[in-house]
Amino acid sequence: MSVTERHNAGYFHQAMGARRFGRVNWLGLWTLAARETRRFLAVWQQTVGAPLVTAGLFLAVFSLALGPTRGPVMGVPFIAFLAPGILMMSVIQNAFANTASSIVGAKVMGNIVDTLMPPLSPLELVIGFLAGGVARGLLVAAVIVLGTGLALGLWPTNPLWLLMIVLTGSCLLGALGIAAGILSAKFDQIAAVTNFIVTPLSFLSGTFYTLEALPPLMGAISHANPIFYLIDGARYGYLGTSDSNPILGLAVTAGTTLALSALAWVWLRRGYRLKP
């Protein structure tokens, strides 16, 4: 047996021992998280640069279309009102895309077994995939915050809260992406989830308007949308004002994240739609 083979065999038995005694396979978890992060960094123009351009286009189009005819919203200029929602919308869409595309891509190429074979528990798989989605969401948020700060002079008034809500949003949509990736067998199905679930929920979550502008029924429906609380939380982090109680919003989004993560854990544990 060569040195490499002995090393690999030693690592395998060590990792299997960790699973047997309930210890965390830190090396395997770190490797999966690093792979998920490097995967999107390899195409940073698409995964990081594109969201900045899209956010800039949204702000530019609304600024040119409405101009001075749109009065202040929540006591701030309309463009300042839009910026936090566009930031969070970009974060959650990218976090979802990262986890969903990773799993579906592995299934389409037939190498999902390379992820399932190593001695990683279902919980470690969930955390590893989420790490990539969170890293992408944080990087997108940082780029957009820097861009809006330099271009508009708009900086978060509660940066720690904004960081917390970005983390929560990345985890929530990252967990949804894992579940969608497990259910989907090809990229067309992921695109359907994006077009018919993620995008509508993002656009109908108060990104471009306040709840005061809605009829009572639509306002009640918006309160049932967890992404509304992410958008509203980001607005609180930026402007210090919001449509709803930010603590309630954090509780709702954290609970939704735990529920989706638990669902992903159950499906990974059972190998649902993953095993050939």
How do residues 183-223 score in pLDDT, each as one tens digit?
A: 999 999 999 999 999 988 888 888 888 877 778 887 788 88
Q: State how far the Cα of 155 lies from the Cα of 48, in Å rounded to an integer.
A: 20
- What is the pLDDT, as a whole number, of residue 276? 59
Residue 128 in this model has a pLDDT that exceeds 60 = yes
pLDDT digits (tens, 9 = 90+) for 79-101: 888 999 999 999 999 999 999 99
Phi first, then psi, for residue 260 (nearest 5°) are -70, -40
Q: Write down the pLDDT at residue 246.
A: 92
pTM of the model: 0.87
Is a pLDDT exceeding 70 seen at residue 14?
no
The answer to whether 181 and 101 have CB atoms below 8 angstroms apart is: yes
Question: pLDDT confidence of 67, banded at 50, 70, 90?
Answer: low
pLDDT band at 68 (very low <50, low <70, confident <90, very high): low
Model confidence at 142, pLDDT cuts 50, 70, 90, reads very high
Given a cut of 80, whether residue 18 has pLDDT beyond it is: no
Q: Counting beta carbons within 10 angstroms of the beta carbon of residue 177, is it exposed (0 to 12), middle (13 to 18) or buried (19 or more)?
A: buried
Res 2: pLDDT: 46
- Which ranges of the chain would DSSP assign to H, the alpha helix? 3-20, 26-41, 44, 50-66, 78-109, 113-116, 122-152, 159-183, 187-193, 199-203, 216-223, 226-239, 246-270
Report residue 46's pLDDT band, with 50, 70 and 90 as the boundaries.
confident
Phi-psi region of 240 (alpha: psi -120 to 50; beta: other; left: phi over 0): left
Give the pLDDT band (50/70/90) at residue 21: very low
Q: In which band, very low, low, confident or very high, does the pLDDT at 61 lie, cut at 50, 70 and 90?
A: confident
CA angle 163, 168, 169 (to 5 degrees): 100
**pLDDT greater than 90 at residue 265:** yes
Task: Provide the pLDDT for residue 193.
Answer: 93
Q: What is the pLDDT of residues 219-250, one digit of tens each?
A: 788 888 999 999 999 999 999 988 889 999 99
* Residue 202 tokens, joined: 């993002």
Interval 57-84 mean pLDDT: 81
